[in-house]
């Protein structure tokens, strides 16, 4: 498909009609799932009466679902078709969010989170390889940078909406508060807001039907004396080591930023949503520097430098005692750390043959999920033991590990490949 899109007229490298349609799809998914839902989910759990231990387990279950998805989806993606998997993934995510609010007992909450991770993981596996088919290989860095801009801006918008949505729901439904919670922090307000998020995610499925149908690839029959191509599992695992560090640091931060700001500084949901929105906006803008850095020092060394800068942000966040100090360090840490994915995915795909892209994406997702699951599941005992400041120090060290591992594994391979 890539050869079909390279001849289309474009204003900027990496953009064409199909890419823009995909961006609409991605934008809606990010508004609903990573914007509205992520701002409110922990608050919803708290309104149901659950503490840090249960919250940590519930937040870890999606990674377990993604772990199980990993290798099977990568192995069958070429046969089923990446576009088809994305459509199934989006519908499954929307259904999982609805299950979350329709049946709020602990068992079904856990099941909904597991299913969300299962379907979200399937979509994550095929998204980078599918995007790579929509434009020329030389334009992938630009394309991934634009996608990051669209997706993170969408999450920022979703975070703002999520911060105010329970209040709007409470006012429109004339909800009454309780002795413990004001009207906008009641379970009903969060339920309706999360149901709206599910509808937005489902709407994100519709643009995918406008993209060209991707023919499934049938299994090729081997000649009697022909051996199947061996999958270089060791190499793929080595290439996924940075994602282990990346998953650990993500699991200790992203599910709990909302609780960190509300509990550390006694903020309202709307204020927390606005702060998170600033972080996502920074995550959208900073990676636009990726193409320039790539031209100057290469993808691997760019990530090494950027992860070192991100670590400074997390060390500063650990030492911050006031909101005025915490917000700038939060923006530095979260925005610069997010340069990882828009650079790392093209870096890995460039050093691997195309036939390994799907299975490599699967292995990477499995390793990332292991890191995220292990760190998020430890939240319940780690927070009382070291506090938020100690957690941010651990994150800073993990971010440094991410950068070092990228440079050690890929700098020589990237140089060899480009020569």
Distances (CA, A) of 251 to 120, 243, 371, 378: 16, 12, 7, 9
Question: Of all residues in the chain, what percent are helix, strand and coil, respectively (each to 5)?
Answer: 80, 0, 20
> What is the rounded CA–CA span in Å between residue 61 and residue 78?
27
Mean pLDDT confidence for 44-69 = 85
More confident of the two residues 37 and 76: 37
Of 35-49, 88-102, 217-231, 338-352, the one with minimum mean pLDDT is: 217-231
Give residue 419's pLDDT band: very low, low, confident or very high (50, 70, 90): very low
- 177 contacts 186 by C-beta, under 8 angstroms: yes
Is residue 384 pLDDT above 90, yes or no? no
Q: Give the pTM.
A: 0.74
Is 11's pLDDT higher than 80?
no
**302 or 413: which leads in pLDDT:** 302
pLDDT at residue 406, as a whole number: 92
Q: CA triplet 334, 291, 349: central angle to 5 degrees?
A: 90
DSSP readout, 186-208? SHHHHHHHHHHHHHHHHHTTGGG
Cα dihedral sign for 73, 74, 75, 78? positive
- How confident is the model at residue 314, as a pLDDT? 96
* Closest CA relative to residue 393, chosen from 306, 315, 335, 313: 315
Per-position b or e across 345-365, b if 16+ CB within 10 A of its CB: bbbbbbbbeeebbbbbbbbbb
Confidence of residue 1 (pLDDT cuts 50, 70, 90): very low
pLDDT tens per residue across span 317-371: 999 989 999 999 999 999 999 888 778 888 888 888 877 877 887 788 788 888 9
**228-274 confidence digits (pLDDT tens):** 567 788 888 999 999 999 999 998 998 889 889 988 898 888 899 89
284 vs 203, higher pLDDT = 203
Percent of the chain scoring above 70 in pLDDT: 89
Residue 339 is given by DSSP the state T
DSSP code of residue 33:
I
> How many angstroms separate the CA atoms of 75 and 364, rounded?
13
**Would you give the distance in Å from CA 277 to the centre of its chain?**
15
Cβ neighbours of residue 33 under 8 Å, at least 6 residues apart? 93, 97, 120, 197, 201
The per-residue pLDDT for range 282-295, each reduced to its tens digit, is 888 887 777 788 88
pLDDT at 225 exceeding the cut of 50: no
């Amino acid at each position: 498909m890539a050869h079909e899109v390279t001849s289309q007229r474009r204003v900027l490298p990496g953009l064409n009609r199909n890419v823009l349609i995909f961006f609409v799809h991605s934008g809606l998914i990010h508004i609903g799932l990573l914007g509205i839902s992520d701002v409110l989910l922990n608050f919803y759990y708290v309104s149901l009466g659950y503490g840090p231990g249960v919250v940590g387990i519930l937040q870890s279950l999606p990674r377990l679902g993604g772990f199980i998805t990993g290798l099977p989806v990568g192995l069958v993606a070429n046969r089923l078709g990446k576009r088809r998997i994305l459509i199934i993934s989006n519908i499954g995510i929307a259904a999982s969010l609805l299950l979350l609010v329709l049946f709020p007992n602990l068992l079904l909450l856990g099941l909904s989170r597991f299913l969300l991770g299962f379907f979200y993981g399937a979509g994550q596996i095929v998204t980078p390889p599918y995007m790579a088919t929509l434009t020329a290989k030389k334009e992938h860095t630009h394309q991934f940078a634009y996608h990051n801009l669209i997706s993170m801006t969408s999450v920022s918008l979703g975070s703002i909406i999520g911060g105010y949505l329970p209040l709007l729901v409470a006012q429109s439904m004339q909800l009454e508060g309780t002795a413990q919670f004001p009207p906008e922090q009641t379970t009903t307000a969060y339920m309706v807001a999360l149901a709206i998020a599910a509808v937005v995610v489902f709407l994100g499925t519709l643009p995918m039907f406008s993209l060209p149908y991707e023919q499934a690839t049938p299994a090729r029959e081997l000649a009697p004396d022909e051996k199947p191509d061996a999958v270089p599992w060791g190499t793929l695992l080595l290439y996924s080591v940075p994602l282990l560090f990346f998953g650990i640091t993500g699991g200790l931060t992203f599910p709990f930023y909302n609780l960190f700001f509300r509990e550390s500084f006694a903020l309202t949901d709307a204020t927390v949503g606005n702060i998170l929105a600033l972080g996502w906006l920074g995550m959208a803008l900073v990676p636009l520097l990726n193409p320039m850095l790539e031209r100057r020092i290469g993808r691997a060394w760019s990530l090494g430098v950027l992860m070192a800068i991100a670590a400074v942000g997390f060390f500063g966040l650990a030492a911050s005692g006031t909101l005025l100090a915490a917000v700038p360090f939060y923006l530095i840490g979260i925005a610069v750390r997010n340069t990882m994915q828009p650079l790392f995915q093209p870096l890995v795909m460039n050093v691997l043959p195309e036939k390994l892209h799907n299975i490599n994406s699967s292995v990477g997702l499995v390793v990332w999920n292991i890191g995220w699951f292990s760190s998020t599941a430890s939240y319940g005992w780690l927070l009382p033991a070291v506090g938020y400041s100690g957690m941010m120090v651990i994150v800073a060290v993990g971010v440094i590990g991410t950068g070092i591992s990228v440079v050690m594994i890929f700098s020589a391979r990237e140089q060899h490949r480009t020569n």
